[in-house]
Amino acid sequence: MASMTVANPPSTAVVPEVVEDLASRETPKAKTPYERMSTGQFLVAAAPMGLVHILALGVIFTGASSTVAWACFALWLGRMVGITLGFHRYFSHRSFKTSRVFQFVLAVISQSAGQRGVLWWASHHRRHHKHSDEDNDPHSPRQHGFWWSHIGWFYGKGAMETDLDRVKDLARYPELVWIDKYWYLPVVALGAVVTALWGLEGFIVAFCLSTVMLWHTTFIVNSLAHVWGSRPYETSDDSRNNVVIALLTAGEGWHNNHHHYQSSARQGFVWWQIDLTFYVIKLLQLFRIVWDVREPPAHVKAAARKRG
């Protein structure tokens, strides 16, 4: 893997500035929380997502062969890890380094989940950490209620905007700007490939059903992980650890850990806190696809064991 040696951008390698918490950087005064759309506006904006939900119900009529059922599971879990490893731990928090080529690969895989673009996702997530469970948090259940934090904010007025001031480290790469602008291309391409392989049954089950499962398992981190679980660390927000959410989201359910020490690629701080995404990161590190993987320091791990 000698081609992945570190070089200064815009070379073939990415050298993110190492900071303790990108989300806490000084930025212009935050905008007011997104306004709620009228019912009519919401129905129009959410129509594509609603259609995928309706199509997923078609499994009742098509059924699912074992091959397609396994494809559904693989596309759910694979894209779940893609979001947590790519959108979250790499792009939002820069918790490890990688090559410029693999950075783009991570963006494409993450965007195949149908949760908009890489710059958009990282920008909103950094805003969440800077104002977690405060008035300007885009999806706080404390401030705005469960359904708003779960899905409503995604279609709030102004929610489509990307605050580029929060993602200057990412926006300097033209390929990321391009794929962010055409965020739907990986989703459409995946749907087309699945349909070509398995026909209508594949489209309904392997693509639509897995996408609906993926949306809601991702969204529960915003909603339930700030409501349900334990709080070993006294953070300023309502973040909680929850083993069920951790299992469903490839390790994202150790949310109180994450809010306590945000820049870590590892969110399950002790051995029994299962963190599938971190295991994948370590595997990639073994093959030198990623490097400089950041973990919590010894005193944080020791405190986690004590609180366990």
Model confidence pLDDT, tens digit, residues 72-121: 999 999 999 999 999 999 999 999 999 999 999 999 999 999 999 999 99
Whether 269 is in a domain gets the answer: no
Whether 134 is in a domain gets the answer: yes
Sign of CA dihedral 274, 278, 280, 286: negative
In this prediction, what percent of the chain has a pLDDT beyond 90? 72
In this prediction, what percent of the chain has a pLDDT beyond 70? 87
Model confidence pLDDT, tens digit, residues 47-68: 999 999 999 999 999 999 999 9
How far is it, in rounded angstroms, from Cα 277 to Cα 305? Answer: 20
- 191-196 long-range contacts, CB within 8 A, separation 24+: 194/71, 194/75
Residue whose C-alpha is closest to residue 186's, from 281, 115, 269, 291? 115
* pLDDT for residue 181 is more than 80: yes
Whether 189 is in a domain gets the answer: yes
pTM for the model stands at: 0.87
Whether 64 is in a domain gets the answer: yes
The pLDDT assigned to 38 comes to 77
Count of CB atoms situated within 10 Å of the CB of 114: 20
* Number of domains present in the structure of the chain: 1
Whether 67 is in a domain gets the answer: yes
Interacting residues of 74 by C-beta distance below 8 A, sequence separation 6+: none
In eight-state DSSP terms, residue 139 is T
Whether 42 is in a domain gets the answer: yes
pLDDT band at 171 (very low <50, low <70, confident <90, very high): very high
The pLDDT assigned to 10 comes to 44
Model confidence pLDDT, tens digit, residues 110-161: 999 999 999 999 999 999 999 999 888 888 999 888 988 999 899 887 788 8
For 125, the domain range is: 35-228
* pLDDT for residue 15 is more than 80: no
